Amino acid sequence: DPCPPGPRGIPVLGNLFQLDNVKPWHTFAKWKELYGPMVYLNIAGQPMIILNSRKVAEDLFDRRGSNYIDRHRFIALEKTTGDSFISIMSSTERWRKMRRAIYGLPPLDLHDPTIGFMNDFVDCIGRLSVPGNLLVNMLPFLEHFPRWTGKWKRDAEKNYKIFTSKFENMFLRIKDETVTGTEQHPSFCVNLAKDQKQHGMSDTDCAWLAGVLYGAGHETVTIFNLTSTTMAWFIFSMIQFPQAQVCAHEELDRVVGQSRLPSFADIKHLPYIQALVKEVLRWRPAIPAGVPHVPIQDDYYEGYLIRKGTICIPSIWSINRDPEVYGSDANEFRPERHLDNKGRLKDESNEGHVTYGFGQRICVGRHFANNGLFIQIAMILWALRLEPAKDNNGNLIKPSVDDERSDGTFLHPPPFQINAIMRFEEAESVVQQARDEIMEGILVRPDVS
Ligand code: HEM
């Protein structure tokens, strides 16, 4: 049976050297023009398929989701985490249990001394998640070579011990306090400790699940923080497209007024802000080549064979600007595309993009992320007007709209400076008051350090 079309490779190593490890999604988009929505590659014997249209990605990952449920092996990352990293775990019973257990939020505490430790953790994970940067991921037989032949293996074993012991300490402390009734503050760990038996999870699994989720929502500037990367793209888009800011300000003034901050209760009445969140995520997805899915059985699609074990990469970048879905202006930043002609959201159940991935491995943090982005964007625009910084002669300095930075997995805006201007006099005191209330709330919590 034929494989989908794709670029010709060289003998043995196939298309290994045609894979662009820096910004592969731009190469995928070019290949879409040449070969169509499914592009086949052979990476030193490992089959790989790039999915470049929404239809193909949804047909396979959503409609046949129970087959496209597995992950490709990131071997060094697997060893560093004792294969406890839910996002890259194979579709085992352990993964199922962890996914089922996720319903709360990771605790965030400004005084938590673990912040430095978590920075190291997310840095390490970020380095190991770049698909092509370690040979062992492409040539898995290297995994079984002795330890002295691979530094990656020695580092992985050492780091696994450090991370596990810290995560276990963090989890077991909460668990002890939950059992003795001293931990009163609701948190993800408290819920997990209470329901651990029901979920059938070991202490180490609970500790890793909590640690990884804490990492995903972690408030740092490291590459791993998808929410803060998306916020950086939001600010970038506001200085590039001032008209969108004018529309957002108009909506906030009309719905919220100027005497109080926006809240979650306003969400239904702020469709333009919701559309803005969707458009930032669509226009500049933080993981533009997604996370690969791997089928557990051979599959046939449109006359092509997709062998089990094939690395299937959803090109989120291409799919988010598929002209068949978004029309000819798909490359432009236009929040209005998510609204009908009465200014209401076109379809509340539809994200309007595929930035959170697909099927049974879709991002479990997406509601948390959407809510966080909504409230941050609403509050920033309620109080501020964002403008590009000016040079000494008063000229605006603004990066080119197409500029971007990447390490192969995550997409960031280039460095840029802004001026943030209070929109009205009372804004400052309203923000200050809200801040004081939150700080009081944190300070009355029991000391958790
Ligand atoms: C703007 C923010 C975020 C973006 C763009 C994002 C994107 C993604 C993507 C593309 C995947 C892979 C989906 C697939 O395989 O098709 C994923 C998985 C995942 N995300 Fe997120 N994410 C975000 C925020 C978060 C947050 C805040 C959390 C935690 C609270 C989180 C937890 C997870 C987990 C645990 C998985 C792995 C699911 C699995 O493999 O079964 N994410 N995310």
- pLDDT at site 18: 79
Contact 211, 170 (CB under 8 A): yes
pLDDT at 444 over 80: no
Average pLDDT over residues 172-200: 83
CA-closest residue to ligand 1 atom 31: 365
Same domain, 401 and 279: yes
> Closest Cα to residue 211, out of 164, 243, 279, 252?
164
- Give the pLDDT confidence of 210-267 residue by residue, as tens digits: 888 776 655 443 434 788 899 999 999 999 999 999 999 999 999 999 999 999 999 9
pLDDT band at 113 (very low <50, low <70, confident <90, very high): low
Q: Which of 190, 216, 242 is the last residue of a domain?
A: 216
Residue whose CA lies nearest to ligand 1 atom number 17: 363
- Beta-bridge partners for 39: 50
**Token couple for 131:** 């698909």
User: How much distance in Å is there from the Cα of 251 to the middle of ligand 1?
Assistant: 30
Tell me the Ramachandran region of residue 414: left when phi exceeds 0, alpha when psi lies from -120 to 50, beta otherwise: beta
Cβ–ligand 1 contact at 231 (below 6 Å):
no
Binding site for heme, by residue number, is 363
Is pLDDT larger for residue 17 or for residue 176?
176
In the reported structure, the alpha carbon of residue 438 is separated from the centroid of ligand 1 by a whole-number distance in angstroms of 27
Single-letter code of the amino acid located at 432:
Q
Mean pLDDT of 309-338: 95
The answer to whether residue 63 is domain-embedded is no
Residues 252, 383 within the same domain: yes
Does the pLDDT at position 92 exceed 80? Answer: no
58 DSSP 8-state letter? I
203, 171 contact by CB (below 8 A): yes
Taking alpha carbons only, the member of 438, 391, 439 closest to residue 416 is 391
Q: How many CB atoms lie within 10 A of CB 340?
A: 11
Q: CA-CA distance, 277 to 231, in Å (whole number)?
A: 9
202 and 239 inside one domain: no
Same domain for 356 and 424?
yes
Taking residues 200-209, report their average pLDDT: 91
Q: Say if ligand 1 is within 6 A of residue 156 CB.
A: no
For residue 369 and ligand 1, the question of a CB distance below 6 A is answered with: yes
Q: Region 328-347: what's the mean pLDDT?
A: 95
357 close to ligand 1 (CB < 6 Angstrom)? yes
Helix and strand counts by DSSP (H, E) for the chain = 16, 10
Looking at 320, 340, 363, which one is the last position of a domain? 320
- For the ranges 174-183, 281-290, 298-307, 391-400, the lowest mean pLDDT is seen at 174-183
For ligand 1, say whether the CB of 355 is within 6 Å of any of its atoms.
yes
| CB of residue 382 inside a 6 A radius of ligand 1 | no
**146 and 108: one domain?**
yes
Mean pLDDT, range 299-323, rounded to an integer? 95
Query: CA–CA separation, 91 vs 98, rounded Å?
Result: 11
DSSP-derived 3-state class of residue 165: helix
C-beta 411 within 6 A of ligand 1: no
Compute, in angstroms, the gap from residue 29 CA to the centroid of ligand 1: 23
Residues 196-219 have a mean pLDDT of 82
Q: Which residues, at least 6 apart from 360, have a Cβ–Cβ distance to it below 8 Å?
A: 65, 66, 68, 69, 91
Within this chain, do residues 140 and 192 fall inside the same structural domain, yes or no? yes
Q: Are residues 80 and 150 in the same domain?
A: yes
Q: Which residues contact 167 (CB under 8 A, 6 or more apart)?
A: 207, 208, 210, 211
CATH number, position 377 = 1.10.630.10
Whether residues 367 and 251 share a domain: the answer is yes
**Ligand 1 centroid vs 212 CA: distance in angstroms?**
11
CB-ligand 1 contact for 283 (6 Å cutoff) = no
Q: How confident is the model at residue 271 (pLDDT cuts 50, 70, 90)?
A: very high
Partners of residue 386 on adjacent β-strands: 420
Q: How confident is the model at residue 356 (pLDDT cuts 50, 70, 90)?
A: very high
Q: Final residue of a domain: which of 264, 298, 320?
A: 320
Task: Provide the phi-psi class of 46: left if phi over 0, else alpha when psi is between -120 and 50, else beta.
Answer: beta
pLDDT tens string 382-434: 999 999 999 999 888 999 999 999 877 789 999 999 999 999 999 999 999 98
Is 186 inside a domain boundary? yes
Nearest-CA residue for ligand 1 atom 37 is 87
- Using 50, 70 and 90 to split pLDDT, how confident is the model at 70? very high
Q: Is residue 240 assigned to a domain?
A: yes
Structure token digits, residue 119: 């920075």
- Residue 257 CA to ligand 1 center (angstroms) comes to 34
The CA–CA distances, whole Å, from 139 to 13, 122, 308 equal 11, 25, 17
- Looking at per-residue pLDDT, the higher value among 154 and 245 belongs to 245
Place of tokens 């995903």: 216
Q: To which H or E segment does residue 386 belong? A: strand 384-390
Cα(201)–Cα(196) distance, integer angstroms: 6
How many other CB atoms sit within 10 Å of the CB of residue 146?
Answer: 7
* Least confident span in 35-39, 182-186, 346-350, 413-417: 182-186
CA distance 200 to 98: 10
pLDDT at 20: 76
Number of domain units in the chain: 3
Q: How far is the CA of 14 from the centre of ligand 1 (A)?
A: 31
* 434 and 402 in a common domain: yes
Q: Is the pLDDT of residue 106 over 90?
A: no
- Does residue 266 belong to any structural domain of this protein? yes
Provide the mean pLDDT of the chain. Answer: 86
Residues 279 and 312 in one domain: no
pLDDT of residue 109 exceeding 90: no
115: closest CA among 344, 440, 448? 448
| Domain assignment of residue 64, yes or no | no
Residue 16 lies in a domain: yes
| Residue-number span of the structural domain to which 42 is assigned | 1-52+289-320
| Backbone phi, psi, residue 192, to 5° | -65, -45
Task: Answer whether residue 231 is part of any domain.
Answer: yes
Residue 217 C-alpha to ligand 1 middle, in angstroms?
10
Q: Is there an atom of ligand 1 within 6 Å of 211 CB?
A: no
CA distance 253 to 241: 19
User: How many whole angstroms separate alpha carbon 321 and alpha carbon 301?
Assistant: 23
Q: Is the CB of 172 under 6 A from ligand 1?
A: no
Torsion of CA 173, 179, 182, 188, to 10 degrees: 60
Q: How far apart are CA 185 and CA 60, in angstroms?
A: 42
Is the domain of 256 the same as that of 380? Answer: yes
Pair (27, 155) in one structural domain: no
Question: What is the CA(304)–ligand 1 centre distance, in A?
Answer: 30
At a CB cut-off of 8 Å and minimum separation 6, what does 7 contact? 15, 18, 31, 34, 35, 39, 41
Q: What integer pLDDT is reported at residue 347 of this predicted model?
A: 84
Residue nearest atom 42 of ligand 1, based on CA coordinates? 365
Output the domain CATH number for residue 19.
3.30.43
* Residue 61 included in any domain: no
Q: Is the CB of 398 under 6 A from ligand 1?
A: no
User: How confident is the model over 38-61, as pLDDT tens digits?
Assistant: 999 998 888 999 999 999 999 999
Cα–Cα distance measured from residue 135 to residue 43, given in angstroms and rounded to the nearest whole number? 12
Alpha helix ranges (H) inside 67-150: 75-80, 93-101, 115-128, 135-138
Point out the ligand 1 atom lying closest to the alpha carbon of residue 360.
41
